Amino acid sequence: MRLPLLFTVGALALTGCATHHHSSAGSGSSAAGSAAAPAAAVKDAEGYTVIFDGTWDGWRVSENPKAWKIVNGAFLANGDRSHNYYVGPLQPFRDFELRLDVMTAPGANGGVYIHTKFQDSGWPWGGYEIQVNNSQGDWRRTGSVYSVKDVRETAAKDNQWWDYRIVVKGDTIQVYVDGKLVNEFKEEPGRQPGKDFERKLNQGTIALQAHDPGSFVYYKNIRVKKLD
């Protein structure tokens, strides 16, 4: 049953290293009807700009907005396919570092898109998906550059927060979990966009994925540092 998992993960969410505004325990705000106002540019001690402050400012959800809530200062992705795009003033991004804290319930699937572009429905065509999956049936695990350079073993664990760091510079994507480099993909010269999915570095924004109703994935402490 999934409901007990939600309470388990929700309780753990209170103990993580969130630095954002918190709602009261057990409460959350829905994406339905949310505005996409620019988020305030607040840099942390390491030079990252916070792009999620615990509100919907700067974010826009595509199809099935009920798949998204803000719970205890984190985005909770749980529901039918939906994607939550950063539409704030810092994008588009080309060379950059993205850091965020992620927590999954057992059996959860999600993802972080880079160099993508807002679309009203469907799996995002633009950019690459960096997989979030520690124990779901898809063998492509956390750290995979999805269906391009995949990882079979995961360095992360369900039911606890882990630090996800994605570095995009030039023709290279590096993926770190809790400071450990788990994947590096370098685009081959002359790579062309695909038909079904672009899967080519260019520039664009960031999107978070709600994959299915059986998946519970939390995203928080989201911040970006431009390298260009």
Pairwise CA distance, residues 171 & 199, whole Å = 12
pLDDT tens, position by position, 20-71:
333 333 457 887 655 455 545 778 888 899 999 999 999 999 999 999 999 9
What is the per-residue pLDDT across 153-198, written as a single tens digit (0 to 9) for each?
999 999 999 999 999 999 999 999 999 999 999 999 999 999 999 9
Say whether pLDDT at 6 is over 90. no
Q: How many CA atoms lie within 13 A of 63 on its CB side?
A: 11
C-beta neighbour count of 157 within 10 angstroms: 16
Query: Cα 88 vs. chain centroid, distance in angstroms?
Result: 15
**pLDDT at res. 32:** 60
What does the block give as tokens for 3? Answer: 């409901």
Determine the distance from the C-alpha atom of residue 85 to the mean position of all C-alpha atoms in its chain, rounded to a whole number: 9
Q: Which of 152, 143, 66, 150 is nearest to 110 (CA)?
A: 143
Residue 12's φ and ψ, nearest 5 degrees, are -65, -30
For position 3, what pLDDT does the model report? 37
pLDDT tops 80 at residue 19: no
Looking at residue 104, its pLDDT comes to 98
CATH 2.60.120.560 corresponds to the domain 3-226: yes
Give the torsion sign (CA, 59, 97, 108, 158): negative
Place of tokens 């633009």: 126
Could you tell me which residues are beta bridge partners of residue 225? 97
**What would the two tokens of residue 147 be?**
């269906």
**What pLDDT sits at residue 7?**
40
Supply the pLDDT for residue 57: 97
Mean pLDDT of the 93-104 span: 98
Greater confidence (179 vs 7) lies with 179
**Token pair for 7:** 């309470």
* pLDDT of 10 strictly over 50: no
Q: How far is Cα 1 from Cα 20, in angstroms, rounded to an integer?
A: 30
Ranking 19-33, 129-143, 203-217 by mean pLDDT, the lowest is 19-33
**Which of these, 210, 218, 214, 209, lies nearest to 76 by C-alpha position?**
218
Q: Give the span between the Cα atoms of 143 and 166, in whole angstroms.
A: 9
Domain boundaries in the chain?
3-226
Q: Would you state the pLDDT for residue 147?
A: 97
In this prediction, residue 34 carries a pLDDT of: 55
| Extended beta strands in 16-161, E state | 28-30, 42-43, 49-50, 59-61, 68-71, 74-77, 82-86, 96-104, 110-116, 128-132
What is the number of helices (H) and of strands (E) in the chain? 1, 15
* pTM of structure: 0.86
pLDDT score of 4: 37
Say what the pLDDT of residue 28 is.
74
